[in-house]
Structure 1
């Protein structure tokens, strides 16, 4: 019998920071608690991030793990409509893209519920 699971948005497990350069977005995801890190590594993959950003048609998604910090960094190419000088997009800098990533749904064992940020 499998353990009970919760499906919650990533922001309950981690916070994020976003930067940009040209048409490239750089998004860091940092676990709120070290015990949540393995779940992030398992589920916040390049493929999962590419699916989350599919409507923006990224050319590539690369993940860099920083295990000592319980963090990961994603480099997402061709996701900013050409970059700040070319885009008609209101957020052509991509600063809000971490919020899009933090909406990714993550399966969490119920035993970790006390580690999650926000309401149950």
Structure 2
């Protein structure tokens, strides 16, 4: 098995609403979606983003399009307007997800 970063097999989009961040992870090939199904779990995403949230993570499976949608709760205390983060809107958090490594 080899370790690869998600950016090698997928692309992502992210955004936020209030205290939640939404990240979609879309695989380039259906076969990679199936291989990542057991490896890119809500628990792994929660650990990967633990530096910005104490909330839980929900994963929604979209097998028809080979994608996952993650909702990361409590990423922006008091909402985006109160955040002092450099990227207050969370648009770059998709890149943080794509840097995560998995074994394939």
Q: Please confirm whether the aligned pair reaches a TM-score higher than 0.5, indicating the same fold.
A: yes
Q: Is the 8 A contact 1:9 1:106 kept in 2?
A: yes
2:53 corresponds in structure 1 to: 57
**Distance in 2 between residues matched to 1:75 and 1:38, nearest whole Å:** 20
Which segments of 5 or more consecutive residues in structure 2 lack a partner in the other structure?
A: none
1:102 corresponds in structure 2 to: 98
Q: Is the 8 A contact 1:81 1:92 kept in 2?
A: no
Q: Is the 8 A contact 2:5 2:102 kept in 1?
A: yes
Q: Is the 8 A contact 2:24 2:69 kept in 1?
A: yes
**Distance in 2 between residues matched to 1:92 and 1:85, nearest whole Å:** 8
2:18 corresponds in structure 1 to: 22
CA shift at 1:81, angstroms? 4.1
Provide TM-score, normalisation by structure 1: 0.82
Give SS of 1:43's match: coil
Q: Is the 8 A contact 1:60 1:77 kept in 2?
A: yes
**Distance in 1 between residues matched to 2:42 and 2:56, nearest whole Å:** 9
